[in-house]
Amino acid sequence: MLERSTISVCRADCVLPSGDSLCLLVSELSLGGAFIVSMKPPPLGTRIALMLLPDGHPPVGPIDARVIGLRLDPANAKRSGFELMFPDVDDATFEDLAVLVAKFEAPEAQPRLTQRGQAEKRQFPRVTVDLSAHVRCPLGAFVARVKNLSMTGAMLVVDTGDPASPALLSPAMEIELTIVSSSPPESIDVRAEVVRLGAGTGAAGIGVRFLDLDEVEARRLEGLMLQGILMSALGR
């Protein structure tokens, strides 16, 4: 039996008809279906073999599931992804699922937007992270921190005590980034364009837009975003 504890998200393996396996997050769970956090959801009608992997508890599944809805919320990455329906769950899996459902937090209320705001201008949600980035540009190289991340770009922060960093950049300059995560170990190389340069107290902000991401790079970036959501949910 699962220990009594409250769960806000859990990991899940989603196996597609192609055989590809995606490690994603479940943010809403019921006996009839689930909501999977994803920045690149599969098409409607896709059949998925779902294995739920709650931290510290036995896996639940596999569960035969079908994609019945898509959602993209630019204001909140945890509400972006796809909805699954469980058409037929065997008795043993149903019992394990019922125990896990009882431990899930109630879904967050969906905010109603009454006026146009900054969030509506974004095509993809942002996730707060704290990752290292090695920046290479035509005039040199330096190290920065990635403070938020989306599927289309990132915000970098550089210590203004480092005189050799922000001054090397200019708007519209193309740069190369290596985004590094220590947990789990991950290193992603991407091309980007500088879209914003700003200064702050003790730090300079650099907004970048990713260029020509391929499918592999996009999935790896999605993994870093999901890890950020998971760490936030676990209070780490």
Q: What is the CATH number of the domain that holds 90?
A: 2.40.10.220
Domain assignment present for residue 63? The answer is yes
- Model confidence at 106, in pLDDT bands (50, 70, 90)? low
pLDDT at 156 over 70: yes
Domain assignment present for residue 110? The answer is no
User: Does the pTM of the predicted model rise above 0.85?
Assistant: no
Judgement on whether residues 99 and 134 belong to the same structural domain of the protein: no
Q: Where are the beta strands (DSSP E) in the chain?
A: 10-15, 21-29, 33-37, 47-53, 60-71, 81-85, 127-137, 140-149, 153-159, 174-182, 185-199, 203-211
Query: Where in the sequence is the domain holding 170, given as residue range(s)?
Result: 126-233
Domain assignment present for residue 119? The answer is no
The residues, any chain, with a CB within 8 Å of residue 94's CB and separated by 6 or more, are 31
Nearest to 50 by CA among 31, 72, 65: 65
Number of folded domains that form the chain: 2
- Model confidence at 123, in pLDDT bands (50, 70, 90)? low
Judgement on whether residues 25 and 89 belong to the same structural domain of the protein: yes
Average confidence (pLDDT) over 35-41: 88
Predicted pLDDT of residue 54: 87
Domain assignment present for residue 2? The answer is no
The residues, any chain, with a CB within 8 Å of residue 84's CB and separated by 6 or more, are 33, 34, 35, 36, 48, 50, 65, 66, 67, 68
